[in-house]
Structure 1
Amino acid sequence: MVYAMEIYTDGGCRGNGSPWAIGAAAAAFKTKWGKYHGWTRILPSYPPPTNQRAEIVAIILALEQALEKYQELDTNPYLDVTIYSDSKYAVNCMKSWIYKWTNNGWINAAGNPVANRDLLEEASDLDDRLRNEGDVEYIWIPREENEVADRFCNEALDRE
């Protein structure tokens, strides 16, 4: 039996990279009836939040929730997880760059330490755990197709 999950993610930051910045991340699970369940997380103030950090935290939130949902199931089906993001950075990190960086000792193509390594290592560990139960795919979508996750993210930022 295959258990499919569709998760839309979004991260946002107001005051991107400044000392007073606030950031939030959201993951929206699409149910088989077309409704959404959402989870949000506010980013800590240190290191200062950025849009890129928020987008990776959204991926982490999605992976955590997918693992939690899997553990709640009565059976052990094969997972087919699709994570959608309007961040090319986040999708490229998870699809290809992370593998190159781990092989290069977390040094990027320019010869510098990889930014957001802390979050990327956490996302990679969660991705590995989820892949033990099935497939995980990351797909970039245009921003206008990510309205639900964007709304959850902005509502979390508004509450801050």
Structure 2
Amino acid sequence: MVYTMKIYVDGGCRRNGRPGSTGAAAAVVEYRNGGQKAWTRILPRRPPPTNQRAEITAIILALQLALEKIDELHSNPKINVKIYSDSKYAVGCMTDWIYKWSQNGWINAAGNAVANQDLIREASRLDDRLRDEGKVDYIWIPRDENVDADMWCNQALDDAEDQY
């Protein structure tokens, strides 16, 4: 038996690249019956949040949710996880670049250290664990197909700004 999960993710940053930036991530699990449930995470202030860090954090959140679901399932099925993102950067990290970077000692094509390496390595570790249990696909979608995750991300950004 295969248990399938569809997770839509989004990350965002207000004042990206400037002092006082605020970042958040959201993951929305879509259920077979049409229902959904959302989880959000506010990024820490250090290192400074960026859009890219937020997008990778959203992937991490989705992977953590999938791993938690595996622990809840009693029949020990294989899992098939589809993670949908409107970030070409995040999808590219997880489908193409991560393998090259790990082979190159986390140095990019320009000869520099890979940016956001801490988060990408964490996502890679979680991805490896999840792949031990089944399959993971990262799928790029246009922004207008990601409205629920975007809405939850913006709500988390509003909440984060209220906290600071």
Give the shorter-chain TM-score range.
Answer: over 0.9
1:114 aligned partner: 114
TM-score (norm 1): 0.99
Q: State the secondary structure of the residue aligned to 1:149.
A: helix
Counterparts of 1:54-133 in structure 2 under 5 Å? 54-133=54-133
Separation in structure 2 between the aligned mates of residue 63 and residue 152 of structure 1, nearest angstrom? 17
Separation in structure 2 between the aligned mates of residue 128 and residue 103 of structure 1, nearest angstrom? 15
Q: State the secondary structure of the residue aligned to 2:91.
A: helix
Residue 142 of structure 1 pairs with residue 142 of structure 2: yes
Tell me which amino acid in the other structure corresponds to 1:83: I
| Cα-to-partner distance string for 1:52-88 (whole Å, 9 max, x where unaligned) | 0000000000000100011011111011100000000
2:34 aligned partner: 34
Separation in structure 2 between the aligned mates of residue 19 and residue 61 of structure 1, nearest angstrom? 25
| Cα-to-partner distance string for 1:4-33 (whole Å, 9 max, x where unaligned) | 000000000001022200000000000111
Residue 53 of structure 1 pairs with residue 57 of structure 2: no
Separation in structure 1 between the aligned mates of residue 44 and residue 86 of structure 2, nearest angstrom? 22
Q: State the secondary structure of the residue aligned to 1:95.
A: helix
Q: State the secondary structure of the residue aligned to 2:26.
A: strand
Separation in structure 1 between the aligned mates of residue 129 and residue 17 of structure 2, nearest angstrom? 31
1:23 aligned partner: 23
1:34 deviates by 1.1
TM-score (norm 2): 0.96
Tell me which amino acid in the other structure corresponds to 2:35: K
Separation in structure 1 between the aligned mates of residue 152 and residue 129 of structure 2, nearest angstrom? 26
Separation in structure 2 between the aligned mates of residue 31 and residue 74 of structure 1, nearest angstrom? 18
Separation in structure 1 between the aligned mates of residue 158 and residue 36 of structure 2, nearest angstrom? 20
Separation in structure 1 between the aligned mates of residue 18 and residue 35 of structure 2, nearest angstrom? 36
Uncovered stretches (5+) of structure 2, i.e. residues with no partner: none
CA RMSD of aligned residues (A): 0.5
Runs of 4+ in structure 1 deviating by more than 4 angstroms, as ranges, are none
Separation in structure 1 between the aligned mates of residue 120 and residue 40 of structure 2, nearest angstrom? 18
Q: State the secondary structure of the residue aligned to 2:68.
A: helix
